[in-house]
Each structure stands twice: as structure tokens, then as C-alpha cells.
């Protein structure tokens, strides 16, 4: 595969090389700015980057935009305006996105998008709804506390449900909400995940939850899942066992499990095989990691039992 500068050079050699090189050059976008700059110079306004109000967009301008947008397969969106170090880390205004959607009605702005990574500080929470075409398979969301309340996030997940039902193969969610909001957050996420039965990889945020029923609900995952990552904060051994019970019961064919047990309440506690016995049911597992500040005590016969259960384990 050619480097970016090589693709750029190849794109001006001849028409045949140009199409192939441009496809590769625009396959993955680190920002929306290069795409929207095709329409004209962008001004950094209080509401995000937008076109100068005096710019008149012609049909040819939109055709050029569409031809490049159709090449994009992967998009990273960074809305971190309070910590901007790179001009690519700013957002496109909602007005410009809505204007573009009107022109792209029915097909979406990026009709062939497969992967989207959305890192939201505040302005771009709902922008992602404009980038959920039928081709989308992988989604990563990182939401900062300043970006939204749990209620706003619940509305977003509800809207995403209607756009993405039965489509995702990979879903990652990261957030730094306060522990008091974790129960509501986990319920909203669980309702969304239920609409994605074809998920193969799932990464949940850090949860600090005391209610056993909610923990069990949060760790009920799609049955086809092959890879799971999660974190439980200040959880008891009993709660850890319950989470693993539900995880393995709902997804018995998991091949990779990474579970972090963090927090200070039980730091230094000794765990035994009985605390994570459900993992022994994963006969096809090749990667199992149980991480945290705890001691692990295993008898020789328990180590032998683990070896017999995980014959294909690599890590």
C-alpha cells in the first residue's frame, strides 16, 4: 500500500492512475476539514467551521464534493476545541452539515463509510447522525462529561438505533460520567446494544455500579460476540462473578475477554479461581486478561484445570 505522499504524486500521472490513487488517498480521513474545504475556504466560527456567507455553491461544486465523499471508508472526528493543537481538531458547524445533508438526501454525506471514530467534547454530539450510512460496520464513540448529560446521550443512542439497527460489527463506547450516572448510562447503552445482534466486538466504558440487576443487564451481550472489553470499578468479588456469569451465558463463543477490576475499595484483595470460574467455559478462547490491583492465588490443580479448559490460549 502506498504512503499518502506517494498516492498524491500518482494521482497526477494519468487518468487511470489518478482514480486508483485518489481512492487510496481519500479512503481514510483524519478530519472532516479536507472534505468540506473542497466547497471553499472555511472560517472558524463560534459554532464550528463554516463557509464564508458570500460563497455561492454551484452544482459543479457539489458534484466534486460528492465524488470525493464517495471514496471515504473511514472517518475520525475530533471535537476538542478547548485543547486545540492542530487545525484538524475542530468541528464543522451544524449549519454546514445540514446544508450538505439537503443536497445528499437519501444517500448520506459519506455513502460508503465503513468505520467512524467520534471523539466529542461539546459541539459535535449529534453530528454523528449525519454519518451513519447503510454501509457502516464499525463505530467508536468517546463522549466527555462536558459534551452532554445522560438524557442527551440517551436521545442520541435512541436516534442511532433507528439509523443503525442490525448493522454494526464493532462498537466501542468511552465516557467519563460520574458514578451516580452509571446505572442510567448502562441501561441506555444496553438498549442500543440489543439492536445490534450481529456485533462481533464490543468495548464498554468503565462502570461503577452497585445494583446486581443492572450489572447483570450491562453484561448481557449479543450471542455472536467474539471479543469483549470492559471495566468494573470498586466491584466486589460476588459482583465480578455475576458479571462474568452473564457475559459467558449470553456469548458462549467469546474468543477474547479483557476485564479490568479497578478502584481502591478492594485493592490488594486476593482472588481465586472460583471468582472467575465462568471463564473456563470459553473453550475457544485465545486471549483472556483479568486486570487490576489484586493478588491471585491458584492451586496446582486449578492451574491444570485452566490449561485443560483453554487449549488454544495465546495470552
For 92-130, write each residue's pLDDT tens digit.
Answer: 888 999 999 998 877 789 999 999 999 876 656 788 889
For 270-281, write each residue's pLDDT tens digit.
Answer: 999 999 999 999
Separation of alpha carbons 194 and 161, rounded Å: 9
Q: Percent of the chain at pLDDT above 90? A: 59
163, 130 contact by CB (below 8 A): no
* Cell digits of residue 62: 457539489
* Cell digits of residue 110: 459519506
Instruction: Return the half-sphere exposure (C-beta side, CA atoms, 13 A cut-off) of residue 51.
Output: 18
Partners of residue 138 on adjacent β-strands:
115, 170
For residue 151, what pLDDT is reported?
85
287-292 vs 256-262, strand pairing mode: parallel
* Cell digits of residue 143: 463522549
For 2-61, write each residue's pLDDT tens digit.
Answer: 455 444 444 444 455 568 888 999 999 999 999 999 999 999 888 889 999 889 999 999
For residue 17, what pLDDT is reported?
55
For residue 16, what pLDDT is reported?
59
For residue 11, what pLDDT is reported?
46
SS3 271: strand
Q: Which of 76-90, 136-150, 205-219, 295-309 has the highest mean pLDDT?
A: 295-309
Mean pLDDT of the chain: 87
Separation of alpha carbons 210 and 218, rounded Å: 12
For residue 8, what pLDDT is reported?
44
Residue 268: pLDDT above 80? Answer: yes
For residue 288, what pLDDT is reported?
96
* Cell digits of residue 167: 448493522
- Of 149 and 186, more confident: 186
pTM of the predicted structure, to 2 decimals: 0.88
Q: How confident is the model at residue 146 (pLDDT cuts 50, 70, 90)?
A: low
Across residues 211-216, what is the average pLDDT? 90
Across residues 175-187, what is the average pLDDT? 82
Amino acid at each position: 500500500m502506498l504512503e499518502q505522499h506517494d498516492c498524491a504524486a500518482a494521482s497526477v500521472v494519468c487518468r487511470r492512475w489518478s482514480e486508483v490513487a485518489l481512492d487510496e488517498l481519500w479512503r481514510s480521513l483524519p478530519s472532516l476539514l479536507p472534505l468540506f474545504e473542497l466547497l471553499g475556504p472555511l472560517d472558524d466560527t463560534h459554532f464550528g467551521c463554516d463557509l464564508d456567507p458570500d460563497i455561492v455553491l454551484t452544482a459543479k461544486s457539489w458534484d466534486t464534493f460528492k465524488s470525493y465523499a464517495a471514496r471515504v471508508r473511514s472517518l475520525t472526528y475530533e471535537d476538542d476545541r478547548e485543547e486545540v493543537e492542530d487545525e484538524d481538531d475542530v468541528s464543522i458547524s451544524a449549519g454546514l452539515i445540514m446544508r450538505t445533508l439537503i443536497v445528499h438526501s437519501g444517500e448520506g454525506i459519506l455513502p460508503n463509510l465503513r468505520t467512524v471514530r467520534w471523539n466529542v467534547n461539546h459541539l459535535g454530539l449529534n453530528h454523528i447522525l449525519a454519518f451513519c450510512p447503510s454501509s457502516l460496520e464499525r463505530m467508536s464513540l468517546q463522549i466527555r462529561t462536558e459534551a452532554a448529560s445522560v438524557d442527551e446521550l440517551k436521545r442520541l443512542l435512541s436516534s442511532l438505533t433507528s439509523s443503525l439497527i442490525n448493522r454494526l460489527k464493532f462498537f466501542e463506547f468511552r465516557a467519563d460520567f460520574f458514578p451516580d450516572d452509571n446505572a442510567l448510562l448502562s441501561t441506555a447503552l444496553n438498549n442500543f446494544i440489543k439492536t445490534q445482534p450481529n456485533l462481533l466486538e464490543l468495548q464498554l466504558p468503565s462502570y461503577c455500579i452497585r445494583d446486581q440487576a443492572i450489572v447483570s443487564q450491562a453484561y448481557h451481550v449479543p450471542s455472536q460476540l467474539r471479543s469483549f472489553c470492559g471495566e468494573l470499578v470498586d466491584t466486589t468479588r460476588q459482583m465480578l462473578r455475576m458479571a462474568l456469569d452473564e457475559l459467558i451465558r449470553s456469548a458462549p463463543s467469546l474468543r477474547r475477554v479483557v476485564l479490568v477490576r479497578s478502584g481502591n475499595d478492594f485493592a490488594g484483595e486476593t482472588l481465586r479461581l472460583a471468582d472467575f470460574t465462568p471463564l473456563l467455559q470459553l473453550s475457544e478462547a485465545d486471549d483472556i486478561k483479568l486486570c487490576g490491583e489484586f493478588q491471585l492465588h491458584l492451586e496446582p490443580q486449578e492451574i491444570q484445570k485452566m490449561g485443560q479448559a483453554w487449549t488454544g490460549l495465546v495470552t
